[in-house]
Amino acid sequence: MAIDRRDTSRYKTFTRRAIILGGAQAGAFLVLGARMYYLQISKSDEYRMLSEENRINVRLIAPLRGRIVDRYGTVLASNRQNYRAVMISEQTPDVQETLNRLARIVEITADEQKKILRDVARAPRFIPVTVTENLTWEQFAQININEPDLPGLQPDVGETRYYPFSTQLAHMVGYVTPVYQRDIDKSPDEPLLRLPGFRVGKSGLEQTYDTVLRGQAGASHVEVNAYGRVIRELSKDNGKPGAEVVLTIDMEVQKYACERLEGESASAVVMDIHSGEVIACVSTPAFDPNQFNTGYGVAAYKALIDNPYLPLTNKSQAGLYPPGSTFKMITSIAALRKGINPRETVHCNGKYALGNHLFHCWKKGGHGSVNMHEAIKHSCDIYFYEMAKRTGIDEIAKAASEFGLGQTYDFEVPGEKPGIVPTREWKRAATGESWQQGETLISGIGQGFLLTSPLQLCVMMSRIANGGMAVKPRLTRAIGGELVPMPPAPMIDVDPAFLKVVQDGMNGVSNEPGGTAFRSRITEAGFELAGKTGSAQVRRISMAERDGGVRKNEALAWRLRDHALFVCFAPVDKPQYALSVVIEHGGSGSGAAAPVARDIMLKVLKRNLVREQASLHPTDLPSHEGHSHAPHSTVEQG
Amino acid sequence: MFDLTRFTGHDMKIGEKLTEFNWGLLFLITLVSCIGFAMLYSVADGSFSPWAMRQMIRFAAGVVIMIGVALIDIRLWMRAAYPMYVVALMLVAAVDIVGFKGMGAQRWLDLGFIQLQPSEVMKVALLLALARYFHGLALDEVSRIRNLIVPLLLVVVPVGLVVKQPDLGTAILLTISGGTIFFAAGLAWRYFIIGGLAVLGAIPVIWDRLHDYQRNRVFTFLDPERDPLGAGYHILQSKIALGSGGLFGKGFMAGSQAHLNFLPEKQTDFIFTMLGEELGFVGGLFLLTLYCLTLIVAFNTALQCRNQFGRLLAIGVAVSFFFYVFINTAMVMGLLPVVGVPLPLVSYGGTAMLSLMFAFGLLQSCHIHRNLEIGRN
């Protein structure tokens, strides 16, 4: 059979075009191959990296915040388990119904419920959302028991900062708060700040040592799928928990001082005079640092702000008071340096005239003739007017500064205030007026422009009692197991004999009949203290009032009463501790401050026996005894 | 010369037909399908359900259909071409009326026992109808305009219906299949030039009528990094998967992109990506080579055919097959915009597999009856 002629032509055309199609296809396959080569060989590394980034998700693990403990290991700030309940919305058919059932166990307000529903709606369905926290054990147990009836709800245990002593050390230890945007702005490279539920130190040592206490973030490398669900954990690094901070505080003393000052707006500081270690540092009233964890309630916070006793202020270092008669030691030292013989007497008839101004002694009628010892003992104002006049403000201010007033010490707790030690230059700069001699006189008795903090008064007391060593207050013994180094304190250029005169005068105040604090002395042998009372006037007494008799403090409104001050050191024969007490508007130093100081000091000295035993104990931290003994002997030599 | 008369008769024995059956082609198809089974097994994290087992059953059914179709005389297929086309056209039109929406597009027709995708049926029917039509035209008649009206309508009507569904991928494939037959039948070059220009001119019009998601696909294709989490996500993740596979791949069932669901539609349109990720450049190239061999066999059949109907049908099936492979792979490699075209024999999908096996059955029938000469009338 012959093939159709036309079909031959169709066949030829077909073959030609089939070859064209085949060739085009071959070309297309070459393009595909080339593209595959480009993606899978040339650019392979790049895509491999992208693939890993896809697959692996780094999840931060919050490190456990370091504890803060006192010198004996008593826990002052730790982490407490926070019982809470979280909702995983994919595990419940009805979020609302689960919440309704939960509301039978835990109270959930309408606002809270709205917030929970919003959070749940926002989060991916498999991400747990915190529904309620800080549950009591009973509530937590009930949730656990009722878990089958609460689909989607899971009991969970988190960590919360916990301050077991609440208000008693609030100003020192400080508190932590949730992270705010400004914290992130400050350190944008710290990923931990972005962790939900993370807390940062906002006050006190929590703030100062925030980064130390915080530790280092751990990380969990997890494989996630495209929806972010974790498939498995590839590796885990738990991070480094925060360092433990050991304080110099003795919580027993701290607690006692707090109890002793309760109800007052007051402050007390106890220091080791050789090392500067702060044994107790009280400011009352205080706030509860635990409450800052979750955010202080509005009403509770308003109550803090409105309280006239200023619970938020750390009075021990930010409360400034005229030192009053507690400043007379400084005037004495300045006078002795000026060459005044301590045995020289000044006659006190209750009045002192300078030009046409009349200055008064606190004791109407006067003390008669007094030498320096007697002047300190009786706190005679006339004697110190005379000494101040002879010595001059420049010398007085120099001594005040050398003994620690009018300055800050880089103390670990933020918020120190320097106070004021007035000088001619200072007054000119501050008021534009020149210095008046009358101002020298009232400065000599600790009034006028002078402003000091209880911490400064305690430092002053330490430097007088330790023979002129310029110790600074310190609050931390060790951080993360390492002792905080203590640089040797410089000696103040002062004749130890001068300090001895002042110390003897203070001994007179407390231990000689007629001394202003004799009634508040320590009678137990070996524990005697030497102190100095102070009553800082906060109002001007008019001539008319003076003529009619100065009103008793009790007759005045609280705000107008004198501040009661007392500084002391003990034991008197072998000084070891200094203490300052300031009771705002407490009336008089001898009446209000001295008895409190006596009790606190006695507690300190009794605890000292424990401290000595503890420092001998081999398991205890290396003590600072080596540092503290050398200057001690200096005092004995003087 | 061998005895032609032996094949010109209409009574080839079953045994003879089975001898002439191209077993090599079946072997290639089976090999490609097995790669598909393996990938579906991997997609399901090492399980035959839900995809691999069903795909294997369909493939088995497909082989039966293929052999059945192959054994039917080619002249019967010629006679059935137009009626089949009419039925297919009605099915496609029916989808517009009673079809339900799947993946945002009306494509499926529920026949009770099987969810039929009429556009798949149309792909085969169109090839048959066009091959039948051009079989009847002498070479010098092909390029006459009045002879082009009917075949153009044959293409345009179903394409229009499919576009309305909307199923852009199928519409393109139908157009290409139709064009291939026009081309192979010997239509003068000038028509293709005019047609090309017409398409260029129609682009603005088509653009106006595109759905937003279709336009987004084009934008995304032009710049995949434009919106890496949105429209560009699929193609970006696909490239990452392929690229991270490297030379030898991450290993069977070890593709992180695919198993962690970064890869979309991995059991259907993006299955080649998964293969590239798990078996690497080598694996991908192996599959492409198998496709090439399949095409060579198909072209060989077309070239050996002594009847125009068989030639056109064979080359139509071959080129359609090629475009499936090309559009799908080029898409997952980021060379073409995302269009819903599955990878033939490998992607999971019942109708596609069955219609493809049907088409290969027709190709086999062309092969078996390649020496049969059929008059133009």
Nearest to A579 by CA among A366, A260, A363: A260
Using DSSP's 3-state secondary structure scheme, residue A519 falls into helix
Q: Is B274 on the interface with A (CB under 8 A)?
A: no
What pLDDT does A105 receive? 85
- Residues B255 and B245 sit within 8 Å (Cβ to Cβ): yes
Range with the poorest average pLDDT among A78-92, A242-256, A373-387:
A78-92
- Residues A326 and A567 sit within 8 Å (Cβ to Cβ): yes
- Residues A509 and A517 sit within 8 Å (Cβ to Cβ): yes
What average pLDDT does this structure show over A303-319? 89
pLDDT band at residue A486 using 50, 70 and 90 as cut-offs = confident
Which H/E stretch holds residue A563? Answer: strand A563-570
Nearest to A167 by CA among A288, A316, A284: A288
Q: Could you read off the pLDDT of B104-139 as tens digits, one per residue?
A: 444 566 655 556 778 888 999 999 999 999 998 888
- Rg over alpha carbons for chain A, rounded to the nearest Å, is 37
- Residues A612 and A576 sit within 8 Å (Cβ to Cβ): no
What pLDDT does A98 receive? 86
What average pLDDT does this structure show over B197-203? 87
Range with the poorest average pLDDT among A419-428, B193-202, B272-281:
B193-202
Using DSSP's 3-state secondary structure scheme, residue A582 falls into strand
Q: Could you read off the pLDDT of A318-344 as tens digits, one per residue?
A: 999 999 999 999 999 999 999 999 999
* pLDDT above 70 coverage of chain A, percent: 91
- Residues B364 and B25 sit within 8 Å (Cβ to Cβ): yes
On the CB side of B152, CA atoms within 13 Å amount to: 12
Using DSSP's 3-state secondary structure scheme, residue A381 falls into helix
What average pLDDT does this structure show over B217-223? 72
pLDDT band at residue B86 using 50, 70 and 90 as cut-offs = very high
Distances (CA, A) of B126 to A440, A573, B344: 116, 118, 18
Residue A231 has pLDDT above 80, yes or no: no
Residue A221 has pLDDT above 90, yes or no: no
Give the C-alpha separation, A66 to A78, whole Å: 7
The closest CB to that of B245, out of A9, A13, A40, belongs to A40
Pairing of strands B115-116, A563-570: unpaired
Give the C-alpha separation, A355 to A563, whole Å: 29
* pLDDT above 90 coverage of chain B, percent: 46
- Residues A458 and A403 sit within 8 Å (Cβ to Cβ): no
**How many residues can be counted in chain B?**
377
How do the domains of chain B map onto residue ranges?
5-368
Residue B167 has pLDDT above 60, yes or no: yes
pLDDT band at residue B231 using 50, 70 and 90 as cut-offs = low
Exposed, middle or buried by CB within 10 Å (0-12, 13-18, 19+), for A542? exposed
Question: Sign (positive/negative) of CA torsion A359, A361, A367, A369?
Answer: negative
Give the C-alpha separation, B282 to B27, whole Å: 21
Pairing of strands A199-201, A278-284: unpaired
Using DSSP's 3-state secondary structure scheme, residue A250 falls into coil
Using DSSP's 3-state secondary structure scheme, residue B123 falls into helix
Residue B375 distance to chain A (closest CA, Å)? 9
Q: Which two tokens stand for residue A461?
A: 């007391």
What pLDDT does A617 receive? 47
Give the C-alpha separation, A531 to A569, whole Å: 6
Give the C-alpha separation, B141 to A350, whole Å: 142
What average pLDDT does this structure show over A404-432? 93
Residue A40 distance to chain B (closest CA, Å)? 4
What average pLDDT does this structure show over A609-630? 50
What pLDDT does B8 receive? 46
Q: Is B68 on the interface with A (CB under 8 A)?
A: no
Q: Is B245 on the interface with A (CB under 8 A)?
A: yes
Considering chain A, what is the average pLDDT of its residues?
86
What pLDDT does A604 receive? 94
Give the C-alpha separation, B324 to B315, whole Å: 14
Q: Is A43 on the interface with B (CB under 8 A)?
A: yes
Exposed, middle or buried by CB within 10 Å (0-12, 13-18, 19+), for B204? exposed
- Between residues B326 and A304, the one the model is more confident about: B326
- Show the domains of chain A with their CATH numbers: 59-247 (3.90.1310.10), 251-287+316-637 (3.40.710.10)
Residue B37 has pLDDT above 50, yes or no: yes
Using DSSP's 3-state secondary structure scheme, residue A269 falls into strand
Task: Decide if A40 and B276 are in contact by the 8 Å CB cutoff.
Answer: yes
Task: Decide if A54 and B246 are in contact by the 8 Å CB cutoff.
Answer: no
Pairing of strands A245-247, A68-69: parallel
What pLDDT does B5 receive? 44
What pLDDT does A4 receive? 54
Per-position b or e across A594-630, b if 16+ CB within 10 A of its CB: bbbbbbbbbbbbebbeebeebeeeeeebebbeebbee
What pLDDT does A89 receive? 79
* pLDDT above 70 coverage of chain B, percent: 89
Give the C-alpha separation, B106 to B116, whole Å: 12
State the DSSP code for A450. Answer: -
- Active-site positions of A? 325
- Between residues B166 and B88, the one the model is more confident about: B88
Whose tokens are 């100062």? That residue is A208
Range with the poorest average pLDDT among A21-30, A95-104, B295-304, B320-329:
A95-104
Partners of A52 on chain B (C-beta within 8 Å) are 244
Nearest to A173 by CA among A213, A138, A140, A144: A213
Range with the poorest average pLDDT among A35-49, A187-201, A374-388, A538-552:
A538-552
- Between residues A636 and A612, the one the model is more confident about: A612
Nearest to A604 by CA among A272, A267, A169: A272
Partners of A15 on chain B (C-beta within 8 Å) are 303
pLDDT band at residue A21 using 50, 70 and 90 as cut-offs = very high
pLDDT band at residue A638 using 50, 70 and 90 as cut-offs = very low
What pLDDT does B1 receive? 40
Probe site for chain B from A15, A39, A47 (most B CB atoms < 10 A): A39
Interface confidence, given as ipTM, is 0.90
Task: Decide if A40 and B284 are in contact by the 8 Å CB cutoff.
Answer: yes
Nearest to A583 by CA among A569, A600, A570: A600
Which H/E stretch holds residue A9? Answer: helix A5-37
Contacts of A200 (CB under 8 A, 6+ apart): A176, A177, A179, A183, A193, A210, A214
Residue A625 has pLDDT above 70, yes or no: no
Helical ranges in A392-450 per DSSP H: 393-402, 424-431, 437-444
Q: Is A126 on the interface with B (CB under 8 A)?
A: no
Residue B173 has pLDDT above 70, yes or no: yes
Task: Decide if A32 and B139 are in contact by the 8 Å CB cutoff.
Answer: no
Give the C-alpha separation, B296 to B298, whole Å: 5
What average pLDDT does this structure show over A549-568? 82
Angle in degrees, 0-180, between the axes of helices B118-135 and B308-332, rounded to the nearest 10: 140
- C-alpha A151: how far from its chain's center? 44
Probe site for chain B from A6, A11, A16, A51 (most B CB atoms < 10 A): A51
Give the C-alpha separation, A147 to A86, whole Å: 12
Nearest to A265 by CA among A308, A321, A317: A308
Give the C-alpha separation, B122 to B135, whole Å: 19
Nearest CA in chain B to A37: B281
Give the C-alpha separation, B303 to A561, whole Å: 119
Nearest CA in chain A to B6: A1
Q: Could you read off the pLDDT of B268-281 as tens digits, one per residue?
A: 888 999 999 999 99
A505-A506-A511 Cα angle (round to 5) = 100
Residue A636 has pLDDT above 70, yes or no: no
Task: Decide if B139 and A10 are in contact by the 8 Å CB cutoff.
Answer: yes
Q: What are phi and psi for residue B49, nearest 5 degrees?
A: -105, 150
Using DSSP's 3-state secondary structure scheme, residue A171 falls into helix
Nearest to A576 by CA among A554, A607, A619: A607
Q: Is A25 on the interface with B (CB under 8 A)?
A: yes
- Residues A49 and A40 sit within 8 Å (Cβ to Cβ): no
Q: Which two tokens stand for residue A377?
A: 């003992």
Which H/E stretch holds residue B360? Answer: helix B350-368
Contacts of A184 (CB under 8 A, 6+ apart): A190, A193, A194
Give the C-alpha separation, B21 to B2, whole Å: 19
Distances (CA, A) of B174 to A129, B114, B116, B336: 52, 23, 17, 18
